[in-house]
Amino acid sequence: MQPKWWQPGVVYETVKTFLVVVGLALLIRTFLIQPFIVDGSSMVPTYHNSDYLLIDKLTYRFREPKRGEVIVFQYPRNPQENYIKRIIGLPGDTVEIKGDTVTIKNDANPNGVTLTEDYINLGSTTAPFATDMSTTLGAGQYFVMGDNRHASSDSRFFGPLDEQYLIGRPLLRLYPFNDIRVLAGAPDRLATDR
């Protein structure tokens, strides 16, 4: 006599349940939420090396990213790698960097507005984080920078980020356990009108 757990009806139900669970997990990971582990110090003090995040992949299907939001995206020069940075410039903006100051020019601010970035870490060095530069973003392009400006490879180096590389925004920090947060890194206020 076969053990009760090996009867055809039990095996069928077990396999069916397993396939449904795996299918749901794949759907959730593909369209809703994706895990992400921060690798490096480019987003200190907002995120640290080894922070474990859940990425919201759904929001940007219904609205455009906003200035100041932290995003996870595929690195344009190697889409197998994922990066985490903050959106500084939106499509149509002109981003000007002089020393440690970022100014945004757009239709709402034709004379420019200097960003107030309380979240950045300039470190102990007094050297500016980048060579002076200016770039105008096209349709579907974003200018992204790390919060730890002196230790970040970002749009200053690889150029504007095309929207096709966007994955989503951090929804929840699950680790470290003493710093669990929803929407950690979201801006308290926007620095410009849009």
85 as an active site residue: the answer is yes
Please say whether the beta carbons of 70 and 185 come within 8 A.
Answer: yes
Catalytically annotated residue among 41, 42, 152, 155: 42
Please say whether the beta carbons of 52 and 174 come within 8 A.
Answer: yes
42 as an active site residue: the answer is yes
Kindly tell me the sign of the dihedral angle through the C-alpha atoms of 75, 149, 88, 32: positive
Please say whether the beta carbons of 162 and 141 come within 8 A.
Answer: yes
- For residue 63, count other CB atoms closer than 10 A to its CB: 7
Catalytically annotated residue among 41, 85, 105, 152: 85
Which residues form the catalytic set? 42, 85
